[in-house]
């Protein structure tokens, strides 16, 4: 039941995602690979600084707390791409703060590559493993940024469905990074 609801939400997100150079480049019974590419009108240094500040460009819709400002990333081996889930307090209830570890940094090479391991969104509840590699290269008009996410291992989702949904979500995140940088957010 929960998996069906999550897939319905992801499918709706996919249909609302902005267009980008995105595709599921491989899928089989064991997993999938997605690749999303954008040329962003910014230097690799500007892209890097924005990339490691996900709270400024990540979509609120793809957080556990509902607010991307709660997202942080420590750009070093073993660093955390994490989210704080604020607590609440009213006259009747105290809900303590929580947190979520979305991914762990495996490689941080400023202005060139950021590689992280973990399951994003509903993949977090699965034994599958994912590796997200984000590369940056100078390109005409700015920096070519590629998000490539390789996911493999057992999962309860239908691979063709979850692969398209994840691709749509990552496309939306890359579009958010581009919009943030090109609107002057990281000058």
> What are the domain boundaries of the chain?
2-64+72-79+103-182
Q: In this structure, which CATH number among 3.30.530.20, 3.40.47.10, 1.10.10.10, 2.60.40.10 belongs to the domain 2-64+72-79+103-182?
A: 3.30.530.20
For residue 123, the model assigns a pLDDT of 96
For residue 8, the model assigns a pLDDT of 45
Query: CB neighbours (10 Å) of residue 184?
Result: 8
Interatomic CA distance for residues 146 and 140, integer angstroms: 15
For residue 15, the model assigns a pLDDT of 42
For residue 173, the model assigns a pLDDT of 98
For residue 92, the model assigns a pLDDT of 85
For residue 17, the model assigns a pLDDT of 40
For residue 22, the model assigns a pLDDT of 79
CA-based radius of gyration for the chain: 17
Q: Which two tokens stand for residue 174?
A: 């890359």
For residue 85, the model assigns a pLDDT of 95
Q: Which two tokens stand for residue 162?
A: 């979850």
Interatomic CA distance for residues 73 and 63, integer angstroms: 14
For residue 93, the model assigns a pLDDT of 85
Handedness of CA 58, 116, 26, 165 (dihedral sign): negative
Parts of the chain with a pLDDT under 70: 1-20, 186-187
């Amino acid at each position: 039941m929960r998996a069906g609801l999550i897939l319905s939400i992801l499918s709706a997100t996919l249909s609302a995602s902005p267009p980008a150079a995105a595709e599921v480049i491989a899928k089989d019974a064991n997993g999938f690979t997605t690749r999303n590419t954008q040329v962003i009108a910014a230097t690799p240094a500007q892209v890097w600084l924005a990339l490691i500040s996900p709270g400024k460009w990540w979509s609120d819709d793809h957080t556990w707390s509902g607010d991307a400002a709660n997202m942080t990333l420590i750009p070093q081996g073993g660093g955390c791409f994490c989210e704080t889930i604020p607590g609440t307090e009213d006259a009747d209830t105290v809900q303590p703060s929580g947190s979520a570890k979305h991914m762990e940094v495996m490689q941080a090479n400023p202005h060139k590559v950021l590689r992280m391991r973990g399951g994003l969104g509903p993949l977090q509840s699965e034994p599958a493993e994912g590796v997200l590699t984000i590369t940056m290269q100078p390109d005409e008009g700015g920096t070519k940024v590629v998000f490539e996410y390789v996911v493999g291992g057992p999962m309860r989702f239908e691979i063709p469905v979850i692969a398209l949904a994840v691709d749509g979500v990552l496309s939306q995140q890359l579009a958010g990074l581009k919009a943030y940088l090109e609107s002057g957010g990281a000058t």
